[in-house]
Amino acid sequence: MAASQRLAILGAGDVGRSVADLASEYGHEVVAIADSTTATVDPDGIDVADALDRKLGGEEIGDADPTAVFETDYDVLVEATPTTLGDADPGFTHAKRALETDHHVVLANKGPVAERYGELRELEADSAGSVRFEATVGGAIPVLSTIEDSTSQAVTAVRGVLNGTANFILTRMAAEGLDYEHVLAEAQDLGVAEADPTFDVDGTDAALKFVILANVLADGGFSLEDATVEGIQNVPGSALDLAAEDGRTIRLIGEATRDGVRVGPRLVPENGALAVTGTRNIVQIKTRNAGSLHSSGRGAGGPETATAVLSDVGRLPPL
Amino acid sequence: MGNEPIGGSDSDRDAAADSAVEATAETAVETNADTETDTDTDTDTETEAETETDGGVRPYTVRLELVDEPGELLRALSPISDNGGNLLSIHHERGNITPRGHIPVEVDLECPPDRFDDIVEGLRDAGVNVIQAGAERYGEEISIVFVGHLVENDLSETLSRIEAEAEAAVIDLSLAAPDGTDATSSARLRLAVDSGRTDAALESIRSIGADKDLTIVEPLLGGEA
């Protein structure tokens, strides 16, 4: 059993709430949770069920200021606010503040590790705390810990499908012979695609994850602007039909190596490992000495992503 | 899916092939370049076709692409002896993977010149991908899908540029234009590219696509996709 840690959770969306909800099952205690307007803080452990009821009922999550989170006695900051590009704030500043005060940081927010990896690692080097970010890549799938276990120097490339929305759309287009707009509308009705699906379909979301992977392989040096990114908006049903005639299909595939990041629609064997269907994600980790490893699973969702956050928490040493 | 070798059978086969290789790997360097001028050989073998040839055999090199599965090498070699070829050496290039994730194998053999085409045909009938047979190169095949205003953008010029700039031969083309040729359409091309030139060819094709405002869906090459 891993050491019990006191969690301060920033962000009360699907992931933040699920982390709070599941923390006790994994042996950890929640001492604070904040959304963008208020926080509830209790050094002896907050009443998670009450706080989540208030949040879901449309009330304020607590009566404290969100910054009160940093002033309580906690071990691990769980950063689960929405991903932002460019300066990656407020996520980056939250992580910085926690590290500068010698706390651990576990990220579900992709921004800081995709856009400012080097700076974050420098802050970590000067801190007693560590940074972990399994939840930023592939939801429930253990991608970064697999790379860590294989040792990142022995991994030559990572590629695969890391956006469930785009994969769902391509799967449905191929299976039903429907066009992009039609399937996108269906995906929105099902809640698979957000009201604004831009980052999912234009490849940005997948690119952020592969940028993070390239940063892990190369120990930094990449941000979103270094990635070559193409989305699926221009892939018509007829392209999928032609691919199928040849025993292939089209998937939004990302590739990360030490030399760069590329995301775009690619032809893959219809029955190949990377041609996962629906919202499923898959990664193929190419190793120098052990061939390829494949892991597939749910790449998004509150409880799924929360399990990745909590396994990171479990890997942290006591402070 | 699932062409990952299982257990030790693969390395056993590998070791066996390797040991056969190294001794004779460089012996059969002659090609069939001079067979056409050597008509005597041909007539000799014609007359004695039923019996042993009297030295009227020629060395040939055949390059194959094999799927990485146990038994594949053996299966690929039987059409050679079945058609009267004599195996000289096999170079099984494990570790070297073709863009389609297959293993290149170079086979040196000797046979009467009139049997050679039967051997190549036999290999193809057995489902073996022949990349190069004698002096004839077939290279690697890649599929690629183009999307855009293909017809309005002068499809035949696009194809000519692919042949010229990407040094690829267009083997076949399927066009799907469900909304008419003046709307967005898709085309699937099968291209033959010289071995080892696939990356360069794809790069040229990307730039042709950018020039002509086409979306290009490239194959995912290498390893088990």
Domains of chain A from N-terminus onward: 6-139+302-315 (3.40.50.720), 146-298 (3.30.360.10)
Q: Using CB atoms, pick whichever of B143, B144, B178 lies closest to residue A238.
A: B178
What amino acid is encoded at A32 in this protein?
Answer: A
How close does chain B come to A167, measured CA to CA in Å? 15
Compute CA A274 distance to the chain's CA centroid, rounded to the nearest angstrom: 19
Query: If interface means Cβ-Cβ distance under 8 Å, which residues of chain A face chain B?
Result: 159, 230, 234-239, 241-243, 245-246, 248, 250, 253, 264-269, 271-274, 284, 286, 291-292
Asked whether this chain's domains B9-137 and B140-217 adopt the same fold, the reply is yes
Distance (Å) from the alpha carbon of A257 to chain B's nearest alpha carbon: 14
Residues of B engaging A, defined by a Cβ cutoff of 8 Å: 1, 4, 143-145, 147-148, 174, 176-178, 184-188, 190, 215, 217-220, 223-225
pLDDT of the residue at B7: 40
- CA–CA dist B191, A140 (Å, integer): 39
Of A159, A267, A291, the CB nearest to B145: A267
Mutate to test the interface with A, among B102, B141, B198, B215 (most CBs of A within 10 A): B215
pLDDT digits 0-9 by tens, B155-183:
999 999 998 898 888 888 999 998 888 88
Report the chain B residue with the minimal C-alpha distance to residue A249: B219
pLDDT value, residue B60: 83
Fold of the CATH domain B9-137:
Alpha-Beta Plaits (3.30.70)
What CA–CA distances, in Å, run from A314 to A3, A77, A210?
7, 13, 24
Q: Is the pLDDT of residue A225 over 90?
A: yes
pLDDT score of B161: 93
A13 is in an annotated binding site: yes
pLDDT tens profile B183-204: 899 999 988 887 667 888 999 9
Contact B31, B135 (CB under 8 A): yes
Q: Edge-to-edge strand order for the sheet containing A131-132?
A: A39-41, A29-34, A6-10, A76-79, A104-107, A131-132
Q: How far is B180 from chain A (nearest CA, A)?
A: 12
Which pLDDT belongs to residue A2?
66
Confirm or reject CATH 3.30.70.260 for domain B140-217, answering yes or no: yes
Predicted local confidence at residue B99, as pLDDT: 67
Interface A–B counts its CB contacts (< 8 A) at 80
Q: Which residues of B touch A269 (CB under 8 A)?
A: 1, 225
pLDDT in tens, B47-81: 444 444 455 788 888 888 888 888 888 888 899 98
pLDDT band of residue A6 (cuts 50, 70, 90) is very high
Contacts of A264 in chain B (CB under 8 A): 217-218
In the structure encoding, which two tokens stand for residue A181, read together?
């707009």
Q: Are A267 and B218 in contact (CB under 8 A)?
A: yes
ipTM over 0.95: no
When CB atoms are compared, the residue of B178, B185, B224 closest to A272 is: B224
Among A173, A182, A234, A238, which would you mutate to test the B interface (most chain B Cβ atoms within 10 Å of its Cβ)? A238
Using CA coordinates, name the residue in chain B closest to A253.
Answer: B220
H or E stretch at A312: helix A302-315
Q: Are A255 and A206 in contact (CB under 8 A)?
A: no
Range A231-252 average pLDDT: 94
Catalogue the active-site residues of A. Answer: 209
- Collapse the DSSP code of B13 into the 3-class scheme (helix H, G, I; strand E, B; otherwise coil) and give the result: helix
Of A311, A15, A13, which is closest to residue A143 (Cα–Cα)?
A311
| Structure tokens belonging to residue A225 | 């602007």
Average pLDDT over residues B28-41: 39
pLDDT at A309: 98
Phi and psi at residue A144, to the nearest 5°: -70, -35
| pLDDT recorded at residue A237 | 93
Q: What's at B201, amino acid-wise?
A: A
B145 and A236 within 8 Å at the Cβ level: the answer is no
- Give the pLDDT band (50/70/90) at residue B35: very low
Interface probe with A: pick from B11, B97, B220, B224, most Cβ of A within 10 Å: B220
Domains of chain B, by residue range, sit at: 9-137, 140-217
Q: State how far the Cα of A193 lies from the Cα of A184, in Å rounded to an integer.
A: 7
**Residue among A159, A235, A241 minimizing CB distance to B176:** A241
